[in-house]
Structure 1
């Protein structure tokens, strides 16, 4: 797996969100059975794109997992949404990529699945692929993500630390005035009398004004020069939530709803052209042993906190990128952030 290049995460800076403890990796891979893989497609200066795969165990059409999906603003292409919402089940890994590459990625995912021995008799399959528009930094019309990149992301998916920032589907994305990308986090909490984990992975690419621990943070407040960024109408954020708590599709949809709500904590504008989606899945169906609705509140809070931290991690891990047509998005300067949060000038 690709790894972030030594950039600080939020907890390294003493920025702790919420009261629940993270899992050992503070990543979606803290949820048992969940693996993540990236394939980065970079041909400077014009191409900064890629694909990210979230692979929950041996998910497939003969072993679907309960799942739910929520749309905060539907200006996007979350392929596979209607069947997922209708049946409440996930049949494939979840892939994230660039807007105009989403359809090619879905086709490649179907091909990869059909080659598996457990899919030898499959005649129908519902691939799930989300996307963000990386056209500010990357030549999106080139549709650079191809079948070999999809297969690489799926084949190299693994547990352990998850690369963040400018990797995979986050290579060309930006959020809240800064370069962003992939971010992840996790929380553990008691649910229904047992310790459970909720993990989150975000592909951050949305507009608004960054807020960290309730304080507004802008490029100017950090001593950075103002520069034109992507139009507010070309944003999006796709959030994948995984848990080992035994929930059904209805409950997972409630969890997905909280994930989209959490973007407001980070300063999201939810603009007209922003596709804001969340998909939530459980790796432990456990029929007949579902968590009661009255016991879900700690899990809701865990997801809110993990999404907020994931977005911040996506920003902190990213590096300043100059791309297509000379467009540039600056990195969030981690060394200046503590001063701004303390009300001091970083300059």
Structure 2
């Protein structure tokens, strides 16, 4: 088990290091969800080099451990074929009361119980808690029926969460995921904007495990073209979890509008939005509660920031992942940089 944050795997690179720039907005210093002040990320990775490639990723708003009981939030289900524990209460109340934990499909319920332990340890009062846990199905590469995630794995990700640039690719909840025909995993990105004279930050983290044809800067790049001789095998149970954080003062309704844009951004990279794909976005704000929500007619810059940061986070989840062979000898190949189209490096105007 490895619950430490680490750098991008040797020989792999983020989109910008490859010259692939999404949009024209500036990123935060780390180009990560942790550019939003107070957002921490932790991973626990389970990889036995054979049949187990899975783990836990936790997005921890420090504000929930330093006095605030909840943050304005919203959930949008692009396609509800999945498990997102705690989503109905967010829908009803517009409040996020816990860190967001991501893991594998059959480990969601053990992870939710472990997150409940964490919440009860941090709040000695209260008779009701709303742990939020999402998933994607990593059964193509990992022996998912073994349900290897335990309480200690979840608590390690939560308690080890930190600022700085989170590890990406084959780490945490992305250890065994695939997307668009290639090995994928965890990815993150951020954008900064000035809205009505005030600086705001939007950050996204994704657990990518969905079908379609990889599209980079509008150019389709099928597996069969980038890796001759390899057939695109789309696993069952494809899904995508997207977490969006911002420090902009927004209410739950407005955050729902951001969450919808996060799902829309999947289309930019070629998502098929298939029948079995559970595609969810959770958006929340850390803005001080005394600030009034910004007017709707000022939201366009935030919509652009969400779309661009999610698109780049999805590309990072692919470009930082490494070729993995898992259960039943199945292999998911990393995106080969040398075969990426040169025209894919141009900026969207």
TM-score by length of 2: 0.94
State the secondary structure of the residue aligned to 1:50.
strand
Whether 1:204 aligns to 2:174 is: no
Q: Map 1:188-203 onto structure 2 (within 5 A).
A: 188-203=192-207
For residues 77-111 of structure 1, what are the alpha-carbon distances to aligned partners after superposition, in whole Å with 9 as ceiling and x for unaligned?
A: 01001001100000100000000000000000000
CA contact (8 A) 2:180 2:270 kept: yes
Aligned partner (choices 173, 179, 185) of residue 181 of structure 1:
185
The equivalent residue for 1:284 is: 287
For residues 167-217 of structure 1, what are the alpha-carbon distances to aligned partners after superposition, in whole Å with 9 as ceiling and x for unaligned?
A: 000000000000000000000011232110000000000000010000001
Q: Which ranges of structure 1 fall in alignment gaps of 5 or more residues?
A: 343-347
CA RMSD of aligned residues (A): 1.5
CA–CA distance in structure 1, aligned partners of residues 228 and 36 of structure 2? 38
CA contact (8 A) 2:77 2:280 kept: yes
The equivalent residue for 2:166 is: 162
CA–CA distance in structure 2, aligned partners of residues 25 and 341 of structure 1? 23
The equivalent residue for 2:27 is: 22
State the secondary structure of the residue aligned to 2:42.
strand
Using the TM superposition, give the Cα deviation of residue 5 of structure 1 relative to its aligned residue in structure 2, in angstroms: 1.3
State the secondary structure of the residue aligned to 2:302.
helix
CA–CA distance in structure 2, aligned partners of residues 318 and 225 of structure 1? 20
Kindly report structure 1 stretches of 4+ aligned residues shifted beyond 6 Å.
none
CA–CA distance in structure 2, aligned partners of residues 160 and 62 of structure 1? 23
Whether 1:302 aligns to 2:308 is: no
Q: How many residues align?
A: 340
Q: 1:280 to 1:153 in 2, by over 3 A?
A: same
Whether 1:83 aligns to 2:89 is: yes
For residues 201-257 of structure 1, what are the alpha-carbon distances to aligned partners after superposition, in whole Å with 9 as ceiling and x for unaligned?
A: 0000000001000000112222432235233x4100000000000111111011000
Q: Map 1:1-347 onto structure 2 (within 5 A).
A: 1-6=5-10, 7-59=12-64, 63-116=69-122, 119-227=123-231, 229-231=233-235, 233-339=236-342, 341=344
TM-score by length of 1: 0.95
CA–CA distance in structure 2, aligned partners of residues 337 and 147 of structure 1? 41
State the secondary structure of the residue aligned to 1:162.
coil
